[in-house]
Amino acid sequence: MRFLSGVAVSLTVGALVGTSGTGCHRDLPLGPRDTVPPAVHVLSPDPLTGAYDRDSNGLLDVQLAWADSSGAVNRSTLRIVAVEGGVPGFGPDSNLVPSWRIVRLDSAGAVLEETLGALLREGETRLAISVADRAGNRVTDTTSPFRLTPAAFHQAIPLAGMPSCQHDRGVNLALSPDGRKGFVPYNGCVAVFDPDGVRPVHFIAPVPNADFAVDISVDSATGLAYIGGGIGGQGYTVLDTRSEQVVRTGAIEQAQVASVKVIGDRLFIGESCTSGTIQVYSATSLSLLGRIPVGATTSTGSCPNTTSIAIAGDGDGWGAVVDAGVAHFDARSYAMIGRYRIDSTSGGAYWGAARSIRLVADRWLEAALPCEGLEEFDTRPWQLSVKLGDSFHAAPCFKELALSPDGSSLFVSADSTGWIGWDSVQTPYLFDVPGLRLRYAFPHRRGGLTDAAVWHPDGKRVYMMAEFEVKVYVIRPRPTS
C-alpha cells in the first residue's frame, strides 16, 4: 500500500451559544481552522508490481481511494499529470483528468481509464496525483514508476453469426479513409464494423466478386473500395464506403484476379494462375491502360500469382509473385525492369515466395515469406539487408505486413507453428523499420488464423483479421529522445 500524504485528525467547527443571567448572548470563539490535506491511497497502478491494466484492454487504469479529516474532499480539484513520458500534444503540466474516461468519482475515491485521444507514451512513467479538500488543503505526490508496454491487445470484434452472409473465413480488411468504418469481404458479402466503437455493425449483401480470400483496397481520395480476387474470382466490384452501395462491377481480360491495389488514379490488378501479369486500369473510368508483363514461371508446378503490389513515389513498382520472387517494374510505362529472388538460401529455379510486401521510405522493401521468414531488401541497389528466418522467436509463421502511417513501424500478423486445424496460436510482432528491429512481441493468444492487418489513420491502433473476428491492438507513441 502507498499513501501519498496526509494524516487523520478530529476537528469540530462551530460556535457555542450561552445565556447569561442578564439575558445577553455570548459567542464562544471558533475552533481551529482545517489545515490537514486529504489522505490518498493509490490502488492502480500497483505500487509494488507496476501492474496498470486491470480490465486487460491495453489501457492504463487509475484507481484511487481517499478520505479527509472533515469528510469533504473536493472531487473537482483532482489533477493527474504525467511526470515522465507524457502525451504527445499535451504540455508537461497538463491535467489528464478531463481527457480520460471517468468511471467513478465520489466521496470514496476515483477510477479513471486512459483514452486513445490522450494515450501515454511507451516506457517508464510516473504520475503526479493531487486533490484538495473543501478547505483548500491540497495533497500532491507521485506514484511509483511503472512501465507501459509499446503495444497491447485491446479488444476483439466478432463478425460471425450474422444471418445475411454465407461465411467463409475472412482474410482481408480495410478502413474508410477517415477511419470511421471497417470492411471485411466474405463470400458474397462485406461485413461492416465500427473501429472506434469496436463493434460489428451489419453486412452488405449481395456483393459480386467477393469470394474466399478476396482482396480489398480503398481509395483515400474518393472513399471507393475496390474488391476482387479470391478462389475463382474473375472480376472486381467497386463499393462506395460512404453510401455502402455497389457502384460498379467489371471483369478483367483473360484471367482471374489474385489481388487489387488502388494507387492514385490507377487500379493495379494482379493476375492469378498465369505468369503473374499485372493489369492496370483507370480507377475512374475502369478502362484498361496497360499490362505489366511479369513473365514469371515456376519449377514447383504452382501457378504464379501476383499477391501484393507496392508503388514508390517516383514510379518504381514492385510486385510479390508467389513462387517467383519479386517483380520490379516501371509504374508509369508498365515496362518490366527485372525479377529478384527473395529467398537468398534457395537454389535452382526456385525464386522464393512473397505473400506480402511493403515499401519503406520508397527504398527498403519488406517481404513476408509464407511461413518461411521475414526479409528486408535495399532496392538501391537490390541486396538483402535483414533476414529473420525460422529460428526467430520460436519459428512464427509470418503472414501479412502493415506499415504505420508515419512509415516507422511495421506490424506483422503471425501464427505459431504449433497450431492444430483452425485453432491457431496468434503471435503478432511490431518492428521498427527500416532495419526490422523488434519493438514488441505480443503475447501468445489463441484464436483463428491471422491474415491481413491495417493501421488506423491515427497511428494508435491496428486491426488484424482472424477468420470471423477482427483483433484490435493499441500502439503507444514512442518516448521522446
Instruction: Using a pLDDT cut of 90, give the percent of the chain over it.
Output: 67
Q: Is residue 134 very low, low, confident or very high in pLDDT (cuts 50, 70, 90)?
A: very high
Evaluate whether 173 touches 192 at the Cβ level (below 8 Å). Answer: no
Q: What is the pLDDT of residue 204?
A: 92
Grid coordinates representing 71 are: 469528510
Give whichever of 355-364, 382-391, 438-447 has the largest mean pLDDT: 355-364
CATH of domain 17-148: 2.60.40.10
Q: What are phi and psi of 2, to 5 degrees?
A: -135, 125
Residues 225-262 have pLDDT tens digits of 999 976 666 789 999 999 999 999 988 877 889 999 99
Evaluate whether 386 touches 398 at the Cβ level (below 8 Å). Answer: no
CA pair distance 326, 210, nearest whole angstrom: 26
Q: Is residue 416 scored above 50 in pLDDT?
A: yes
User: What's the sign of the alpha-carbon dihedral 219, 225, 228, 234?
Assistant: negative
Q: Is residue 344 very low, low, confident or very high in pLDDT (cuts 50, 70, 90)?
A: low
The per-residue b/e assignment along 349-371, b for 16 or more CB within 10 angstroms, e otherwise, is: eebbbbbbbbbbebebbbbbbeb
Residues 63-93 have pLDDT tens digits of 999 999 887 899 999 999 999 889 999 999 9
Grid coordinates representing 166 are: 454465407
CA pair distance 300, 349, nearest whole angstrom: 9
SS3 call for 117: helix
The Cβ of residue 271 has, within 10 Å, a number of other Cβ atoms equal to 27
CA pair distance 29, 456, nearest whole angstrom: 65
Mean pLDDT of 339-353: 73
Q: Is residue 180 scored above 70 in pLDDT?
A: yes
Task: Give the total residue count for the chain.
Answer: 481
Q: Break the chain into its structural domains and give their ranges.
A: 17-148, 151-475
Mean pLDDT of 111-123: 97
Q: What is the pLDDT of residue 11?
A: 33
Evaluate whether 162 touches 469 at the Cβ level (below 8 Å). Answer: no
Q: What is the pLDDT of residue 117?
A: 96
Residues 1-59 have pLDDT tens digits of 344 433 333 333 333 334 444 455 555 556 678 889 999 999 999 999 999 999 999 99
**Under the phi-then-psi rule, with left for phi > 0, alpha for psi from -120 to 50, and beta for the rest, what region is 198?**
left
Q: Is residue 132 scored above 50 in pLDDT?
A: yes
Mean pLDDT of 182-188: 92
Q: Which amino acid appears at position 5 of this protein?
A: S
Say which CATH topology domain 151-475 has.
Methylamine Dehydrogenase; Chain H (2.130.10)
Evaluate whether 335 touches 329 at the Cβ level (below 8 Å). Answer: yes
Q: What is the pLDDT of residue 7?
A: 35
Q: Is residue 470 scored above 90 in pLDDT?
A: yes
Q: Which of 104-113, 187-196, 335-344, 467-476 has the lowest mean pLDDT?
A: 335-344
Q: How far is CA 87 from CA 91, 92, 95, 127, 151, in A?
A: 8, 8, 11, 12, 15
Mean pLDDT of 120-127: 97
Q: Which of 199, 239, 152 is nearest to 442 (CA)?
A: 152
The whole-chain average pLDDT of the chain stands at: 88
